[in-house]
Structure formats: structure tokens, C-alpha cells
Structure 1
Amino acid sequence: MKKIVFRGFLKAMILAILNKRRMHGYEIIKEIEKRTKFWKPSPGTIYPLLRKMEKEGLVKSSKKDKIIVYSLTKKGKSKVIKFEKLRKEIKEKFLEGFEREIGIKYRKIKKHRGLLKSHFKLILFGLIKNEKEIVKEIKTFDRKLKKLLKS
């Protein structure tokens, strides 16, 4: 079964990776696999996207010992800043909404942020196969959480 990745996610991840240092395509693939711990994009996904990003002026390529190395342009660095702001905003809104819905203060759930983060990543990265499965997982999580809060 194919894993679904939301549009824009891969581009944002590549920009974030290249914001750390210059890399060739295979290094980018390995870094994505390392960061996600579940997904290794194919070269047939990465290289066309890198070419598209180069046409958009987000990355530039240069040859180093017959290997094409990619780095960010000023426009790419600007996009990283925008993505980071958006990521923080989404994270804050998710946690605020979560707190408001179930009436728990952030400090009480702070020690469980890793678990929340992993559930959120499954949804955000599209690992859960379809919308029905996402809704089912959220409802199951919600039911279990409410049960725990009552006890």
C-alpha cells in the first residue's frame, strides 16, 4: 500500500533539511528517512521535486566530484522561515484546541507531548490510510482519553 504524503510537506521538509547544510539527493532521502522514522521517499519522488524547486528559485545545484549537491537560495531560506512560522502556529492551535476541548491545562499534559506529537505526525504525514481511518483513530483516542479523565 502506498503511503500518502500531504502536498507541500515534502517540499517543506527538504527546505528544512537543506537549511542545515548542502546535500546531494541520496543524503536528502536518508535524512528524511531518519527524521520520519517511517518513510523513505524514492529517487523518483525526490529528484523531480528538487528540479522543480530549482526552477522555482528555492534551491540551487552545483556539481561536486560528479555529484549534484543542492543548497538553499535566499528565496529558499525565506520560505524556511515562513514554513517554520506556519508549523509553530499549527502546533500552537492544535494544542490550544486540544486543551480547550477537553478542559486540561497545558502543564498537565506537557509530560505526554511526545505521545500527542506522534499521533499528530501519523495524521499530518498521511501514514493513516484514509479519512475514515483518521476519524476512527481520533475518536478512539478521544474515547480513551475521556475514560482516563473520568477515573
Structure 2
Amino acid sequence: MHRGTLDKKPTNEVSKENEIDIKDEEKRLYIEYKKKLSELRRVRKEKEAVGQVFTKGLLPLYVLYTLSLGETNGNDISHKIGERTNGHWIPSTGGIYPLLKKLEKEKLVVGEWNESKKAQRIYQITEQGRLELENKKYLLRDRIEEALEVFKIIYSDLYN
């Protein structure tokens, strides 16, 4: 017998070991993929929950406030909110325009097509919208102050 022939395994045994190794690696990668996907979904849900506080509660109020400063289009509303919040909250126009339609149905804003530059809908707050803004500002003031206090406590606990 030649040296080395004892070390060699039959070809079919080697390929079976490779198949097992590959299947084990595929399984390990799949499990890792599922864990990462689950983590990404959890993070996305948390971000959506935080975003909903802004979108559902504060966005309608802040859009009315922004329009109380002067008429403008939906895109500019988004940019103005972004500027006022130093870029920390920039609502998507995909959320602004449906909200403007809703506010228009509720007669809180009115939109008219501006044909002078490019076709765009310019919105302005109505008198009813101004009353709604003042009413909601009054109703939400305590809740916003409480939320700020809670955030201060949480921030202090976590970072001090």
C-alpha cells in the first residue's frame, strides 16, 4: 500500500460530508437571517409607534399651526416643519397631502389650484380651522407638558 491511501476516503463519503456541512451552514444562515429579520421588524414597529404619536396626534395640529402663519402647499408644510424642528421631524408629503384632504373635508382648511407657476394646490386655514387650532392647543397643552416631563425623567434615568 502506498502511503496516503489510508488517509483517503471514498469520493461518495467526502461528497456526503460536504453536503452535510453545506446543509448545516444553510440552516445556520437561515436561523441568523430570521433573527435579524425579526429584530428589524421590532425596531420598525417601535419607530412606527413613536411616529404615530407625532403623525396622529401632533401633525394635524402642527399643520394647522403652520397654515396659520400663511398659505402654502403641502410640500412646503413638510419643509417648514422640518426647519422648525431642526430636521428632527420631517413629515413625508405622502402623509401631509391625505391629511390636508381630510382637513379640507372638515372645512378647517381650503385648497385652491395655483396655475401661475406650476400647477399646485395652495392651502390656507379657515376661520373654523383657527378655532380648531386654538381649541386643540388648549386641550393638548397639559398632555404635551406631561409628555415632556416623562421624556425628561426617562432621559435623565438613561443618560445621567
- TM-score, normalised relative to structure 1: 0.59
Amino acid at match of 1:12: L
**Shift of residue 5 of structure 1?**
3.1
Aligned to 1:39: 89
Aligned to 1:62: 112
CA–CA distance in 1 between the matches of 2:129 and 2:62? 12
Q: Secondary structure at the match of 2:148?
A: helix
Amino acid at match of 2:52: V
Give the counterpart of 1:88 among 131, 138, 141: 141
- In the TM superposition, 1:97-108 aligns within 5 A as none
Aligned to 1:8: 57
Aligned to 1:120: 148
- For 1:22-52, what per-residue CA distance to the aligned partner results, in whole angstroms no more than 9, with x for missing partners? 0111110101111222121112111111111
Q: How many pairs are equivalent?
A: 107
Measured on the aligned residues, the alpha-carbon RMSD in Å equals 2.9
Q: Which runs of 4+ in 1 moved over 4 A?
A: 142-145
**Shift of residue 140 of structure 1?**
5.6
Aligned residues with identical type, % of pairs: 30
Structure with more contact order per residue of length (Cα contacts < 8 Å, sep ≥ 6): 1
Q: Secondary structure at the match of 1:23?
A: coil
- TM-score, normalised relative to structure 2: 0.56
Larger Rg: 2
